[in-house]
Amino acid sequence: MFRGSHGPWPILAGRSAVVTGGANGIGAAVVHELAAAGASSGVVLDLEPSLGRGTAPDGWREVAVDLRDDDSIRSAFAETRDAVGGTIDVLVAVAGIVPAWTGIADLDPDVWDDVFRVNARGVMRTVQEAEPALRDGGAIVVIASQNAWRGNENLASYVASKHAALGLVRSLALELGARGIRVNAIGPGSIATEAYRARLQAREEAGGRTVEEALTAEGLTTPLQRLATAEEVARAVLFLASDLASGVSGHIVPVGSPFV
């Protein structure tokens, strides 16, 4: 929870929030941070909305959605709008997929399309369905990546999709600014979630570095010489979602990333 000089500070008191990809990892950390900061009603949208096999915070509902499927998106957001009383104060788009490492010569075009369908088109459709219910003066935060401004060999589809997501953020900031809606992105570096550890484990089994060696090496590329945590990403989301960032829109905030 965000803490001021006198203890917990409910800076989102009485506000509603919607988080895609909120069942696990960074998304689950975001859900709990927003709820702890006072977001008393909200919706967790995910393929399997079990919040990491736990339960949603009080006042929050879990709704299943497949961002690859337009019918699923429309249905999920109809339920979402009903759950929050027709008004969304904070929208956080976390949902995304990371493909296996593949060189361009072996990259399956269907994999490219699938990555873009979730990481880029999925963000667009999320905002499109939420926009009529977004409160004037509200906030949108998109979880992009350090790969929204830098390349990464053997991950061309993912990198390109995150560049696209950042372009969408900057365009939406201009389009929705007239309503006072702020649109920003977070650019996390590598975060040691279960999903990231699983990818490193697969690379280790294929002859690469051990998981711990890879985590240590990645951490040393950052100014703080360590990996950031999912909770630290969630606190950055809370800042951008709150009135503390009332003059910030159209930007990406690195968390645990090398310099922009």
Contact 145, 187 (CB under 8 A): yes
For 151, the token pair is 């390349």
Residue type, position 253, single letter: V
For residues 159, 254, 220 and 216, what is the CA-based torsion angle, rounded to 10 degrees?
Answer: -70
Sign of CA dihedral 41, 46, 48, 51: negative
Output the CA–CA distances (angstroms, integers) from residue 78 to 63, 83, 124, 164, in the order listed.
Answer: 10, 9, 17, 26
pLDDT at 189: 86
**Residue 190 pLDDT class (50, 70, 90 cuts):** confident
Judged against a pLDDT cut of 50, whether residue 4 lies above it is answered with: no
pTM of the model: 0.91
All domains in the chain, ordered by first residue: 6-189+228-254 (3.40.50.720)
Distance in angstroms (rounded) separating the CA atoms of residues 35 and 13: 9
What digits encode the pLDDT tens for the residues 212-239?
A: 887 778 787 888 888 889 999 999 999 9
Distance in angstroms (rounded) separating the CA atoms of residues 114 and 94: 16
What digits encode the pLDDT tens for the residues 38-64?
A: 999 999 999 986 654 556 899 999 999
Judged against a pLDDT cut of 80, whether residue 3 lies above it is answered with: no
pLDDT at 175: 98
What digits encode the pLDDT tens for the residues 8-39?
A: 679 999 999 999 999 999 999 999 999 999 99
pLDDT higher at 4 or 229: 229
What digits encode the pLDDT tens for the residues 113-124?
A: 999 999 999 999
For 140, the token pair is 């949108």
pLDDT at 171: 98
Beta bridge partners of 134: 88
Distance in angstroms (rounded) separating the CA atoms of residues 212 and 1: 29
What digits encode the pLDDT tens for the residues 146-169?
A: 999 999 899 999 999 999 999 999
Distance in angstroms (rounded) separating the CA atoms of residues 153 and 155: 6
Contact 76, 45 (CB under 8 A): yes
pLDDT at 53: 52
Phi, psi of 150 (to 5 degrees): -140, 160
